[in-house]
Amino acid sequence: MPREFEILNLVFEGLSFTQISRKLNITDDEVKRYHKQLLKKFEARNSVELVRKALEDSWLKL
């Protein structure tokens, strides 16, 4: 879960998948896989909905 949480925070910051992959030294495909897992966990259809739900559930703070 720690890697997923890192990616969730970076998505919240507005970074692209490429920027996230460079920052975490992982491939774009790994970022996409983690992102897909997060979408499923939060039952979200896209990044905006993911961040909204994560904020509502107190996974992220403004």
Determine, yes or no, domain membership for 37. Answer: yes
8 A C-beta contact, residue 53 and residue 41: no
How confident is the model over 1-26, as a mean pLDDT? 95
The whole model's pTM is what?
0.91
How confident is the model over 33-56, as a mean pLDDT? 97
pLDDT band with cut points at 50, 70 and 90 for residue 62: confident
8 A C-beta contact, residue 32 and residue 17: yes
8 A C-beta contact, residue 53 and residue 42: yes
8 A C-beta contact, residue 44 and residue 32: no
Determine, yes or no, domain membership for 29. Answer: yes
pLDDT at 30 over 90: yes
Determine, yes or no, domain membership for 52. Answer: yes
pLDDT the model gives residue 1: 66
The CATH number linked to 36 is 1.10.10.10
Determine, yes or no, domain membership for 62. Answer: no
8 A C-beta contact, residue 10 and residue 18: no
Domain count, the chain: 1
Determine, yes or no, domain membership for 61. Answer: no
